[in-house]
Chain A
């Protein structure tokens, strides 16, 4: 009968909501309770250093090129020993959409995303992070990696003496 069906439907609904009254709320009371995001969470961007303490960033502009909202800008210069580095490096976090394309594009693992999501500021200009705000004193997610041991040939070490590199071949001695 329709009436009985309808009554059953209403009572089933009431029973369902009753169960939810007794259930624990899923709310997280944010400022007091904070959830711990996954290590891969994409939030505040940092510039990491290599294990020797040198800056990893070689100012190649790839992150800036990959950035869909153009929030990364920098100026390249030549540092000591002929190494490229950024004279200044700027990320405008009021524009950043935390897509992580910059970190993907980086050939030296210098630019990385961190799980620190609390980067609100009262003044919007405080959201423009300069190089000294971005640069950290650790290696981030790749503690072993040192770009100049794999590449940068002729800049930090003579040719043919890098990690996993074969000695140079004397092209003149290759004659048959």
Chain B
């Protein structure tokens, strides 16, 4: 990227905008099809067929869903806070999309005589930006539930707040060892540091903690307490309808893709892998994570609230702290070249 004092050349700007547009397109399309894939895979798990009527194999189902959501009434509860109510879905979806800006999704390519990193923004504090954005995403849940002025929504958003804050802690702590190993917050450096061996080999414990934490961050079963349809109707988005509900919904799936991509970046070597091109490796890993999430959703029951808090504060966070200490000790003993 060009420095702030230099006027960036138009070619560079064009390329960056093209990259942003492409990433947005791919992410939104993938998220829509992830909804479809989830419905099909859950159906198979339950010995059903799933949606297969719209188009061949039901492949046009996301389009039909989109038309349905767009033409539905956009309702705001009369007692609700209109502005916050309309703002909340965007606050849930936008940080999820923005997080993808820092994810390196392929090997750098040479195009028009310049090196183009397959990443929208290679920030030197990329990991911190991810943590910050995932903290902002909490506001979508909190405000959505608060502005609805409904007891179910409020309970859901209270649960969501407590859950997201608790698991963000263990998620952040489980990423510290990868930073210690890569000696950088920059995501491209973290990927480059895994050329010799993926961090999952050195940090299986951190990977396990991160996996459980991102499951909770996505508010997925078995951590879907903020939504908990059996108890809270639909939790924090009970009062939402139409495309605003759709934004919450698609934001959740974008979150799955982004967090899957980050898990791949931090622990599974990002876009690196033998034989196949980097793009395929990266998206393959992301989709594998998405499948894992769907598979877990089809398998596990929801945790009780006290179990959720117990797991977060008394198991994952201490484990992550011990893991950091162990990694530090190991790095101290191994000297300057740990890998």
Contact = CB atoms under 8 A, between A and B. Distances in A.
A173 B49 CA distance: 80
A25 B296 contact: no
Given A10-B300, A14-B295, A27 B41 contact: no
Interface in A1-55: 10, 13-14, 16-18, 20-21, 23-27, 29
A115 to B, nearest CB: 25
Nearest to A26: B47
B233 interface: no
A60 to B, nearest CB: 48
B47 A20 contact: yes
Given A10-B300, A18-B295, A25 B45 contact: no
B298 interface: yes
Interface in B169-185: none
Contacts, number: 35
Interface residues of B, number: 13
Contacts of A25: 43-44, 47-49
A20 B49 contact: no
- The bracket for how many chain A residues form the interface is 10 to 19
Contact of B45 (A10, A17, A24): A17
B323 to A, nearest CB: 15
B49 A29 contact: yes
A17 B298 CA distance: 7
Contacts of A20: 44-47
B300 A13 contact: yes
A57 B45 CA distance: 52
B299 interface: yes
Contacts of A26: 47-48
Interface in B44-101: 44-49
Contacts of B295: 14, 17-18, 21
Contacts of A13: 299-300
A16 B296 CA distance: 11
Contacts of B47: 20, 23-27
A-B CB proximity, top 7 nearest: A27-B49, A17-B299, A13-B299, A21-B44, A25-B49, A17-B45, A26-B47
